[in-house]
Amino acid sequence: MDLAFTPEEQAFREEIRAWVRTHLPQDIAHKVHNALRLTKDDMQRWAKILGAKGWLGYGWPREFGGPGWNAVQKHLFEEECALAGAPRIVPFGPVMVAPVIMAFGSKEQQQRFLPGIASGEVWWSQGYSEPGSGSDLASLKTRAERVGDKYIVNGQKTWTTLGQYGDWMFNLVRTSTEGKPQTGISFLLLDMKSPGVTVRPIKLLDGECEVNEVFFDNVEVPADQLIGEENKGWTYAKHLLSHERTNIADVNRAKRELERLKRIAKAEGVWDDMRFRDQIALLEVDIVALEMLVLRVLSMEKSGKNPLDIAGLLKIRGSEIQQRYAELMMLAAGPFALPFIEEAMEAGWQGDFPGGVAANAPLASTYFNLRKTTIYGGSNEVQRNIVAQTVLG
Ligand SMILES: Cc1cc2nc3c(=O)[nH]c(=O)nc-3n(C[C@H](O)[C@H](O)[C@H](O)COP(=O)(O)OP(=O)(O)OC[C@H]3O[C@@H](n4cnc5c(N)ncnc54)[C@H](O)[C@@H]3O)c2cc1C
């Protein structure tokens, strides 16, 4: 197995690096490097810049307007974006629902929905989880009843990330109660501006409203917004989740945040403490090991093998690492990381931070926020069950 990059791959990396450094707005990069709050405009501005270049759908094949990059090129693109301080691409459109529309949607659906996703104009949300149906997703109850050429949707979704900005939502809905729960689920695209849709933000520990509850009250959805066949939605949902989990490993962000941790440790004086440096070294070893795992997956993909059965492992290790660097940043800043000042998340905040370094004020918020990573995209406990079944046998 060859884990080194070829000269062509290195040249590709240089090309991406130069382009990203020229086109990424500096005010956005500043916010990302300092973990400050990103607005909808920040996220969408970068998405549209990528969209205009044809790179928002960086994983897409050429036939659908993507760059047709192979797995290594996609990895290099992600790495260069992360290291430059680009915001993570909001995955619901380009990374999650687009591959489903390409694989299972009709020609009309592809022509109707893919251009708005590729350009970054249309914001998508994910409607899978419900109260009581998270890990046990197949038990979901939101009902879609076929009446003529429409579905009438009633029920509730929850934990809908950034759903307050959503134009469209892809949903798993129950269309049958016959047989196994998985066989009565369908995959429906829904316009969030439709009458009967209510979005209610959930305020989290870090003060952000990153997630929402979404209620459907007799929402009419044209039947031509059903993907594939009725009651086959579970198959399409699984296709999508495999994309979500690989994306969640986010080793490139971990590399960027490791450098931030070192900066904080030096500024706070704990860099001179051998015990603290040991902790950073252990984290760095784990990040390098995760990167090797990602490169092994890429190498397998290059040689035509299917590596997706270790997607769960990537998710488990990636999310644990994210939580660890946030913890170490808090420890490095010591008591000055403790006060939680919500306004400090805004760029240009000049408020009072008695005795501490103002740049450390957002640390508590990052720490709280990253508690989510071992839960979303399928909790780590459930991922371990899957790894036990698929990898260990
Ligand atoms: C920040 C955030 C953003 C999210 N964004 C979205 C989104 O945009 N769209 C969306 O649809 N969903 C989203 N989710 C929902 C997410 O997918 C679910 O929270 C997750 O699948 C867990 O489901 P649950 O919260 O219902 O917990 P539960 O399933 O009730 O689990 C509770 C606990 O029990 C454990 N557990 C459950 N079953 C097992 C088992 N079989 N073996 C061992 N342990 C088990 C779990 O690991 C967990 O610790 C988001 C969640 C979070 C926290």
DSSP for 54-80, please give it.
T-TTTT--GGGTS----HHHHHHHHHH
pLDDT digits (tens, 9 = 90+) for 243-282: 655 566 889 999 999 999 999 999 889 999 999 999 999 9
Within-domain flag for 113:
no
Residues 129, 225: one domain? yes
* Contact by Cβ (8 Å): 325, 255: no
pLDDT in tens, 43-96: 999 999 999 999 999 999 999 999 999 888 998 999 999 999 999 999 999 999
**The domain that contains 198 carries what CATH number?**
2.40.110.10
CATH code at 299? 1.20.140.10
- The band of 339, judged by pLDDT with boundaries at 50, 70 and 90, is low
Ligand 1-lining residues (CB < 6 angstroms): 126-129, 134-135, 159-161, 211, 372, 375-376, 378-379, 381-382, 385
Angle between helices 7-23 and 71-84 (to 10 degrees): 40
Same domain for 355 and 308: yes
Q: How many domains does the chain have?
A: 3
Ligand 1 centroid to Cα of residue 378, in Å, is: 6
Q: Kindly state whether residue 155 falls inside one of the protein's structural domains.
A: yes
In which domain, by residue range, is 182 found?
124-230
| Cα–Cα distances in angstroms (integers) from residue 354 to residues 216, 341, 357, 364, in the given order | 47, 12, 8, 16
pLDDT-derived band at 308 (thresholds 50, 70, 90) equals: low
Pocket test for ligand 1, best of 376, 384, 385 (most atoms within 8 A of CB): 376
Q: Are residues 224 and 262 in the same domain?
A: no
Asked whether residue 182 is domain-assigned, the answer is yes
Residue nearest to atom 11 of ligand 1 (CA): 128
Nearest CA to ligand 1 atom 40: 382
Pocket test for ligand 1, best of 92, 369, 379 (most atoms within 8 A of CB): 379
> Are residue 184 and residue 284 in the same domain, yes or no?
no
pTM of the model: 0.93
Residue 115 maps to a domain: no
**pLDDT tens-digit profile of 11-36?**
999 999 999 999 999 999 999 998 88
Q: What is the CATH number of the domain that holds 18?
A: 1.10.540.10
Shared-domain flag, residues 272 and 388: yes
**The pLDDT of residue 137:** 96
pLDDT of residue 312: 83
Task: Kindly state whether residues 268 and 385 are assigned to the same domain.
Answer: yes
As a whole number of angstroms, the distance between CA 202 and CA 162 comes to 10
| Best residue among 97, 130, 135, 204 to mutate for probing ligand 1, ranked by most atoms within 8 Å of CB | 135
